[in-house]
Structure 1
């Protein structure tokens, strides 16, 4: 018996057809989603990163060659470019191709840094780069981009012990570079005639590295700058600079030797721990960023072994893993090893991380190499303009998200 109020009439044919069409459409959407999720080929997207929050995982992406590369953001006429990095003047064969590629995250789109907007946004601010020559590479890239868009005078200066710096007068914006190889103070050490703990262990000479004392070049930087970008690592993994047999690194803390004598990697951990705490303490209300390791691309041996970097195209994902996989323990493995130490030291700190390592691992084509008649290929630093311009795009992305 039928329930009262319900009809036994069959639904119209048109309704059945509509249901089938809608169901088919839903299945197509679901299939499309799973198909795109399983692919690492970047698809065009109109979604721009909004500048709010940290929704964009910018490290997961691919370099895409632009069909019509835009004009250079600056050229070899920028006087701040170190001669060895000026690949245009040195006539590097693939120099124009280096800037024809753009980093494209899979999940979003990060536009190139807009120099005019950057200058106006950071009026009355002070930005300091603290680290080795790779941070200078990034510092010069930013200065060259901004100088092309700035109105008024751009004056050289050396604030707070900086190696070099500039003030963009119309914006009262200061950008400086503080050179430091290890972040901490170090200098030559020789055995004392009166003996001591290190002398009793047979040490006669080496480098004294005070893991709890910031290098003088940047000691005042946390109090002076509003935004700080740090890096360190290359010099810690440099046996050609610190010979473990003839001139070992000898670590001091609180003015006395650390015993037993740590290895350089353990000394690096001590230095990072102390310096991160020091900056957190002295720059509590500042923006603090630590940049991850810049990858090297030596093939056929290290720089002092005749290694070279002759690639003219970015690497594939498989080639990246072949060159940088830690288990392979190749010539360039230091960048991923160093990153492990950096990220452990930053855990729980007030630092943000600027991840450039994986983004840059693909760009074996972006180094000066033998351009300019170098004796050894430079497969560590980057051509300018070049890959470090993208680092500054990512820096701008992070600053916009704060």
Structure 2
């Protein structure tokens, strides 16, 4: 579900190996694993991150020494009106967790797991991959201006969510990788449901008998049924007490859906939408159908989140155009705007464009918007880059330990605020 606050320093005896023995992972199976935990074990589960699922168990004790800042540290304040959306429905209470800054704390370090944890996907293990600033990545702590973002306490989380089912619906890992964990002592299940577009889609080819699309020259593409949820998650809605949705990256991905060679062709009520509409309009149609689909089927009292986009940080071109992400520090506010402002139409512009569609579709809905975009836009330094093991810089996924740990803190803080209010 989530991950750590970098500002709290902990001296940790890490036992990631025990996670492998107590919560075995098997990428070949879809079934939910059952895990037995004792109260002294420390749990860190990534639900929201674009990371692979990992469970790290460790003993810990927190150091009480305060942070000391080096003379060359950089504090970055987040301008709420200038970065990301200015109008939103906050998931939390009085505290605006998004109005804050990244603070460098030289004493900070991975407080729950480190690079020895076997659950970390090799390409995202930046410490083991010898990324030059991998250690510094976790020394940056997100600090809201008017409150604190507490560090996710896994034992407290387990105790508060006894007899709870949590589902994460998003693009994650290859097809067939849906899986989860059950913590038997607490009867807590965390399950992952993979989806790229939220709805059913597949290859489409022109029929020899002709049709509406064939008559206007279409020969092939991808059929996207805007009103049919993908089966990987459709039934899960009735099961979970907490659901977190995420979609968007593939909607603005010419490498996935070439607008000429393999365009997205939208269908509604089993009929093609004619004339064909562009992906952004199709995305709106999908949200118009899927939001009420979820709302009508959730369990009474269920909490539903929609997570905003995880920003990419390609500079000098996209991933297949020589783009890179070689920053060693978070971006300054003006740099964030240069890279992400839609008016600049840059390589990473889809982040805010997708969010605009999300906010519009989710307005007045039962969904709680979990905005991880605004704080994360600053973190151009936290991608695997050349250490990801690809032929190009990986400026989309995140180093672990890293920024997604803070997403987890944010998610848990919002959950706790909701429970307090209720």
**Normalised by the shorter chain, which TM-score bucket?**
0.7 to 0.9
What do the CA deviations read for 1:32-89 (whole angstroms, capped 9, x no partner)?
A: xxxxxxx9969xxxxxxxxx96101111111001141144321233333222212122
Q: For 2:288 and 2:77, locate their aligned partners in 1 and report how far apart those are by CA, in whole Å.
A: 40
Aligned to 1:336, which of 340, 352, 370?
352
Residue 245 of structure 1: aligned partner: 260
Q: Secondary structure at the match of 2:304?
A: strand
Aligned to 1:199, which of 193, 207, 214?
214
Residue 319 of structure 2: aligned partner: 303
Q: For 2:239 and 2:119, locate their aligned partners in 1 and report how far apart those are by CA, in whole Å.
A: 23
Aligned to 2:248, which of 233, 241, 256?
233
Q: For 2:124 and 2:240, locate their aligned partners in 1 and report how far apart those are by CA, in whole Å.
A: 27
What do the CA deviations read for 1:165-199 (whole angstroms, capped 9, x no partner)?
A: 11112111111111111111100001111111011
Residue 395 of structure 2: aligned partner: 379
Contact kept? 2:308, 2:373, Cα under 8 Å: yes
Contact kept? 2:204, 2:220, Cα under 8 Å: yes
Contact kept? 2:110, 2:401, Cα under 8 Å: no
Alignment of structure 1 residues 66-77 onto 2, 5 Å:
66-77=105-116
Please give the TM-score of this superposition, normalised by the length of structure 1. Answer: 0.79
How many Å apart are 1:372 and its aligned residue? 4.3
How many Å apart are 1:162 and its aligned residue? 7.1
What do the CA deviations read for 1:241-296 (whole angstroms, capped 9, x no partner)?
A: 10110100000111111111110000000011111111011115211000011111
What do the CA deviations read for 1:105-163 (whole angstroms, capped 9, x no partner)?
A: 11211111111111111111111110113xx7xxxxxxxxxxxxxxxxxxxxxxxx971
Alignment of structure 1 residues 45-124 onto 2, 5 Å:
54-124=93-163
Q: For 1:71 and 1:368, locate their aligned partners in 2 and report how far apart those are by CA, in whole Å.
A: 17
Aligned to 1:352, which of 354, 368, 376?
368
Query: Once structures 1 and 2 are overlaid, which stretch shifts more, 161-170 or 112-121?
Result: 161-170
Give unpaired runs (5+ residues) of structure 2: 1-74, 79-90
Q: Secondary structure at the match of 2:386?
A: coil
Alignment of structure 1 residues 142-291 onto 2, 5 Å:
163-283=178-298, 285=300, 286-291=302-307
Contact kept? 1:112, 1:393, Cα under 8 Å: yes
Give unpaired runs (5+ residues) of structure 1: 1-38, 43-51, 137-160
How many Å apart are 1:328 and its aligned residue? 0.8
How many Å apart are 1:318 and its aligned residue? 1.3
Q: For 1:84 and 1:67, locate their aligned partners in 2 and report how far apart those are by CA, in whole Å.
A: 25
Asked which structure has the greater CA Rg, the reply is 1
Please give the TM-score of this superposition, normalised by the length of structure 2. Answer: 0.75
Q: For 2:293 and 2:182, locate their aligned partners in 1 and report how far apart those are by CA, in whole Å.
A: 27
Query: Once structures 1 and 2 are overlaid, which stretch shifts more, 86-95 or 105-114?
Result: 86-95
May I ask how many residue pairs the two structures share in their alignment?
Answer: 330
Aligned to 1:132, which of 171, 178, 193?
171
Q: For 1:313 and 1:398, locate their aligned partners in 2 and report how far apart those are by CA, in whole Å.
A: 28
Q: For 1:86 and 1:330, locate their aligned partners in 2 and report how far apart those are by CA, in whole Å.
A: 28
RMSD: 1.9
More helix by percentage: 1
Moved over 3 A (4+): 39-42
How many Å apart are 1:225 and its aligned residue? 1.1
Contact kept? 2:109, 2:135, Cα under 8 Å: no
Q: For 2:92 and 2:398, locate their aligned partners in 1 and report how far apart those are by CA, in whole Å.
A: 30
Taking structure 1 as reference, are residues 230 and 191 closer, same or farther at Cα in structure 2, changes over 3 Å only? same
Q: Secondary structure at the match of 1:197?
A: coil
